[in-house]
Amino acid sequence: MRTWLITGANRGLGWHIANAAIAAGDNVIVTGRNLEKITEAFSGYDAKKVVTLALDIAEEDQIRNVVQSAVAIFGKIDILVNNAGYGQLGPFENNSPADIDNQFSTNVFGMFNMCRAVLPIMRKETHGHIFNIASIAGLVGMPGASVYCASKFAVVGFSESLAQEVADFDIKVTVVSPGSFRTDFLDASSAHFGSADIPEYAEFSRKIRDSSERNNHAQQGDPAKLGSVIEQLALDPQAPTHFVVGSDAVQIASDRLNSRKLELEAWRELATSTDTPNQG
């Protein structure tokens, strides 16, 4: 029987991934910043198999405590799902240094610290699978989301490198890049907008906010289906390092690959002109 540790599980993608793991009969540790909310989200489940713990992944001491508790309760951690995160939106100049620090503390450094705490356990077992939830915004830059995109690009690059570093320990790393799924991501409770007011960006910012409100809970992706897919990938020894999910994300990623290839070929001659002449 497998043991999962899932961050940011009180709602959204994390909640659905946890429910898919529970339905598969696995042991699951679900975490969220507010213990009351995470407990309520999983009330009615067998407390011996579904454990709820408070965790703010921006706090290293809380991460250590949760990981220690997980091992004390179930003896191991087979699957780590780094799902906790949020979107810091708006133009770059509208985002203060504090806004950016908070975004990276959760989306990037919190994920780093979760991996740092769990990897020694997986290395000891010579087994494990880490899922880092990124976004299609980690593959394609988007206006009005420069800070969020930067954080998710970091998740993608880190995951690709980490996968190669831990492969010899039979630990897999999959970075999941979803498109738009019908969650609370665009709610005011999740999406944050820059705190710096710059009049020149007022109209652009209004368009970003209007678009967020229009698309909130109208996204085409079904988070329950994504939860089931993650559970399936956790069983597959051939699970990919990169998993782009959602028809919109697949199309966006495909278009970006094609445009990058065209750009690379258009500038190949100039780019390769920088080589040192062959002295032989």
**How many separate domains does the chain show?**
1
CB 174 within 8 A of CB 126: no
- Exactly one of 45, 86, 148, 201 is catalytic; name it: 148
Copy the structure tokens of residue 206. Answer: 């209004």
For 198-249, the pLDDT digits (tens) are 888 887 777 777 766 666 655 677 889 999 999 999 999 999 999 999 989 9
Q: Cα(235)–Cα(240) distance, rounded to whole angstroms?
A: 12
Q: Which residues of 186-220 are buried (b: 16+ CB within 10 A; e: fewer)?
A: beeebbbbbeeeeeebeeebeebbeebeeebeebe
Any idea which residue has 């209004």 for tokens? 206
For 31-51, the pLDDT digits (tens) are 999 999 999 999 989 989 999
> Is 279 a domain residue?
no
> Is 277 a domain residue?
no
> Is 186 a domain residue?
yes
> Is 87 a domain residue?
yes
> Is 184 a domain residue?
yes
Sheet hosting strand 79-82, strand order edge to edge: 50-54, 27-32, 3-6, 79-82, 128-133, 171-178, 242-245
> Is 264 a domain residue?
yes
pLDDT recorded at residue 217:
53
> Is 235 a domain residue?
yes
CB 152 within 8 A of CB 134: yes
Highest-confidence segment of 7-11, 169-173, 243-247? 169-173
pLDDT recorded at residue 61:
96
How much is the pTM? 0.91
148 in catalytic set: yes
Residue 84 lies in domain: 3-272
The secondary structure of 226-241 as a DSSP string is HHHHHHHHHH-TT--S
Averaged pLDDT for residues 15-44:
95
**CB neighbours of 270 closer than 8 A, spacing ≥ 6?**
none
Specify the CATH number for the domain of residue 162. Answer: 3.40.50.720
